[in-house]
Structure 1
Amino acid sequence: MIEHRFTNWQPWRSRGEIERLHYPGVYAIARTKEDLSGAPFDLSESIIYFGMTNALSGLIGRLRQFDDTISGRRLSHGGADRVRHRFPGYAHLASRLYVAVAQFRCDPGSSLPGDLRKMGEVARFEYLCFAAYAEKFGQLPAFNDKKAAPKFSKRMEHEG
């Protein structure tokens, strides 16, 4: 059901090559030793996170925030902060990450009814992804589960 909306998997380091990242949308991040480069999106246990954005900066901005956080450059993404807690070594982690996106063509700066409806579809689609994953695997992706996945920044607060 959700699979047809996503692009093929791209290596994390090649995420900027995905077309139309300036649009809002939902993104899936997988962590695996398997080379998923160019493979069609599928709902697999290697998916560690689903996220979405309706921001003016689109998917490219949100993926940049994710990367900034897992690399330790800047804390700007809560889900990535949880990933960093478990996998603090950026180079090793990034070499195993893959991303697929579902873009929604609309203007997030607009208040036109059609654009507002599309932005609502983005939020709804993220929850459809959560539901599909939970149906198939009996739980949320590891780093969407806020109770089970602590944040790196919280660890630093306790140690500091």
Structure 2
Amino acid sequence: MIDRFTNWVKWEDRNTLEGINYPGIYCIAVSRKSLNTFNFIPELEYIGMTNSKGGLRSRLRQFDDTIKLKRTNHGGADRFLYQYQDYEAIKDNIYVAICSFKCDTKNPTPKDLRIMGAVAKCEYDCWAIYIENNGRYPKFNDMNNAPKYSKTKR
């Protein structure tokens, strides 16, 4: 499965990733050192998925909007934002890798629906591999221990 992921790219370069317009899995890492070849490393702090019509591009835009405080419409990004509230200070250390699944989400055939189901299964498989490698969920997938920024505002 690891070989299906793109290499890590800087957050600002995410829209250049091949397959970004399809559904799939995305992994967010934070590292001061340069990342290249994808792996389930400890610096990987969030694993997410989307089957939306806008594909990975749209879901990553929602993540970006949330961490830039434009709107809080992404749960994982809301937990990310709790720890990393200064976007300008962290942006150069954020990396993303994706695993896209080519299918038609606008007018799905039975084959497309099965592919979309494979996307959901893949997310669970990614969590399992990460836990096997690191002994825990990625930091911001651990909903019991990663509070949301939006819950701190009163």
What TM-score comes out, normalization by structure 1 length? 0.94
Partner residue, 2:59: 62
Question: 1:76 matched to which residue of 2?
Answer: 73
Pair 1:21 & 2:17 matched? no
SS at the partner of 2:59? helix
Deviation per CA, 1:2-61: give whole Å up to 9, x if none. Answer: 21110011000111111221100000000000111xx21111000000000000000000
2:111 paired residue number: 114
Matched, 1:89 2:78: no
1:47 counterpart = 2:44: yes
Deviation at 1:153, TM superposition (A): 0.2
Aligned-pair identity (%): 45
Corresponding position of 2:5: 6
1:143 aligns with 2:104: no
Q: How far 1:88 moved relative to its partner?
A: 0.3
* CA-based RMSD: 0.8
What's the CA shift for 1:110? 2.6
Asked if residue 133 in structure 1 is aligned to residue 130 in structure 2, the reply is: yes
Alignment match, 1:100: 97
Which portions of structure 1, spanning 4 or more consecutive aligned residues, are displaced by more than 2 angstroms?
none
TM-score normalised per structure 2 = 0.97
Offset of residue 94 of structure 1: 1.3
Does the 8 A contact of 1:110 with 1:116 survive in 2?
no
Q: Partner amino acid for 1:136?
A: N
One-letter identity of the residue aligned with 1:6: F
Give me the whole-angstrom Cα distance separating, in 1, the residues matched to 2:79 and 2:145: 10
The letter for the 2-side match of 1:14 is D
Unpaired stretches in structure 1, ≥5 consecutive residues: none
Equivalent AA in structure 2 for residue 75 of structure 1: T
Structure 2: runs of 5 or more not aligned: none
Aligned-partner Cα distance in 2 for 1:134–1:48: 12
